[in-house]
Amino acid sequence: MELHQVRYFLAVASTLNFTRAAEMCNVTQPALTKGVQKLEQELGGELIYRERQLTHLTDLGKAVLPMLERALASTEAVRRRARQFQQKEVAPLTIGLAPSISASLVLEPIAEIRKFVPGLHVELREEPPSRLVELLLEGEINVALVGDLDDTPERIDDWALFAERYVAVLAPSHELADRPVIAMEALREATILDRSYCDVAPKFHRLFFPDAPPHHNHRSCRDLHLQHLAAAGFGIVLAPEHMPRLPSLKALPIEGDPVWREVRLLAVQGRRYSPALDAFVKVARLHDWSLHTGSPLQTKHHSHLEATGVSA
Amino acid sequence: MSDHLTRSLNQVRNELLAGLSDADRESYLFLVDWLRRTDVASHALQVGDTAPDFLLPDAHGRLHSSEHLRGEGPLVVSFYRGGWCPFCNAELRALQALKAEFDSLKANLVVLSPETRDLPRQLQRQLNLDLTMLADVDHGVAISYGVLFRVPDETKAHYAGQGYDFAHRHGSTEWMLPIPATFVIDQDGVVRGAFVEPDFTIRQEPSDILAELRQLAGPHAKDASASDE
């Protein structure tokens, strides 16, 4: 397929009008129609129902639209980058973080793209995951990192970055702190500090407290506050492994590593990527996240043997 | 390693083809025929075209700019399908075997994969590669070089049956792949060599790429010596 064919199709998809799409692409309508037809031949079916007053996408058109939007956004972002580099424009990038995601995770990717986008201006916003999705759709943030999602809303691209386990974070003076691992039974008896908006709380409740919710004496929406409480001996924080800890705390694995979650990257489908956003999404999808969790976890559910087979 | 210096990619190809199961052979013949019928390769950049620039992450999440890479010397851009393809892996090994020669010609060689996550890192470890492997995230470069196609349903069913999870590998549920292709790009960004072959089991011999690079260096070297006089 060719880039101009994709551009023509995306213009028709956004306007649902061949005349306006041709104007948008600065070509004649026959040229645009021919380009779309050629793309349809290659993709193996019609992308657009051409009905006089009711031009709309076919199922195939709907299926390939997000992919082609991303491919085009990816190529355009690089071209705009060259111009913006010369003009030294400010490149804003607003990253949303769920409360259970530490900013420490995004520092290396940001440092990497700052080398190529000199006007980079980063803003970090912490909000509960459902609010982050709203902010993405409203255009208030460009990208978000969240934990497990129940379901991904429409119009949101969603990439799993890595899986990580939850560990028990506690003061060295805590009665469970001298064990190599903490048994689930011991956790059931202990005071657990409650994290508001915790995305894995339902998993913990199902596993640890199937009959009744745990009794929490203390809670906060901020991990740092919870850590201060734990350091002062108020209880145990169940925290994602990547979360940086106060020096006065230690982290212990939970027996059998029963609770895992995936950290996911979200962006809005079909929206024009700025050069900074494009670079961030690309770097994030290739970053070695195991450096934050101490173990290569990304493909634990997938066979590594695929690469050695002989097939075509 | 010496094995790859003494055997041509064509010889390796013949051995791999001989090892295919009947189902794999049937799928291979179908896809090559489909690629030829739909004339996918006709969109690819040709000698004399300007190669679009790109900024892509490597297997470790570090960004590489094509402008910078071709600023240091000629740039060789090789598209491959992924770590699941034995023909691609044979090509990677062959390129690795001659990497020192690419270096001696001051040519930057990058291999572009549609795969994301930790798959490029795994492949580098598995094959013991120190090639620069870039992830063509969301196929943006493959489409701008004209080598991207959507995998036909018949092939998709075959690959899915083999357990190849492209949604996981590419981070996209749309099954797109590049036709393996090799482009030699000069320092001005102009394509000086283009090897695009719809039969994805046939790759450009690394020795032929080196010959193109030497030819490319020839006139420049003469120009340089002429200006010295």
Query: pLDDT digit string (tens) for A104-135?
Result: 999 999 999 999 888 899 999 999 898 999 99
Mean pLDDT of A47-64: 86
Domain co-membership, A98 together with A214: no
Tens digit of each residue's pLDDT, chain B (229 residues):
445 556 889 999 999 999 999 999 999 999 999 999 999 999 999 999 999 999 999 999 999 999 999 998 999 999 999 999 999 999 999 999 999 999 999 999 999 999 999 999 999 999 999 999 999 999 999 999 999 999 999 999 999 999 999 999 999 888 999 999 999 999 999 999 999 999 999 999 999 999 999 999 875 544 443 443 3
In a domain, A309, yes or no: no
In a domain, A168, yes or no: yes
Q: Which of A34, A27, A30, A35 is nearest to A3 (CA)?
A: A35
In a domain, A311, yes or no: no
pLDDT value for A312 = 65
Task: Encode pLDDT of A212-244 as tens digits.
Answer: 777 678 999 888 999 999 999 999 999 999 999
Domain co-membership, A73 together with A95: no
Q: Considering only CA atoms, give the Rg of chain A.
A: 24
Domain co-membership, A214 together with A275: no
Q: Per the CB < 8 Å rule, is A74 touching B119?
A: no
Q: How many domains does chain A have?
A: 3
Domain co-membership, A219 together with A287: no
CATH number of A141's domain: 3.40.190.10
Domain co-membership, A154 together with A287: yes
Token duo for residue A297: 């976890």
Q: Which of A163, A141, A129 is nearest to B117 (CA)?
A: A163
Does residue A139 register a pLDDT over 90? yes
pLDDT value for A67 = 84
Task: Report yes or no: B61 and A289 within 8 Å, Cβ to Cβ.
Answer: no
From B26, which residue of chain A is nearest by alpha-carbon distance? A312
Q: Which of A210, A214, A206 is nearest to A189 (CA)?
A: A214
From B87, which residue of chain A is nearest by alpha-carbon distance? A312
In a domain, A129, yes or no: yes
Q: Per the CB < 8 Å rule, is B135 touching A282?
A: yes
In a domain, A234, yes or no: yes
pLDDT value for A168 = 95
Provide the residue range defining the domain that includes A77.
3-86
Of the residues A86, A113, A139, the one at which a domain ends: A86
Domain co-membership, A130 together with A140: yes
Domain co-membership, A15 together with A100: no
B20 shares contact with chain A (CB less than 8 Å): yes
Token duo for residue A154: 């429409």
| Confidence grade of residue A304 (pLDDT, cut at 50, 70, 90) | very low
In a domain, A250, yes or no: yes
pLDDT value for A153 = 79
Domain co-membership, A167 together with A142: no
pLDDT value for A210 = 81
Q: What are phi and psi of B49, to 5 degrees?
A: -70, 155
Distance from B222 to chain A by nearest Cα, in Å? 32
Chain A residues in contact with B124 by the CB 8 A cut-off are none
Instruction: State the Cα–Cα distance between residues A220 and A197, nearest whole angstrom.
Output: 9
In a domain, A71, yes or no: yes
Interface of B with A in 89-148 (CB under 8 A): 89, 116-123, 126, 135, 137-141, 143-144, 146, 148
Token duo for residue B115: 């795969």
Helix (H) or strand (E) holding A145: strand A143-146
Domain co-membership, A269 together with A152: yes
Domain co-membership, A51 together with A121: no
Rounded to two decimals, what is the model's pTM? 0.87
Domain co-membership, A81 together with A102: no
Q: Which of A158, A87, A95 is nearest to A121 (CA)?
A: A95
Number of Cβ within a 10 Å radius of residue A219: 14
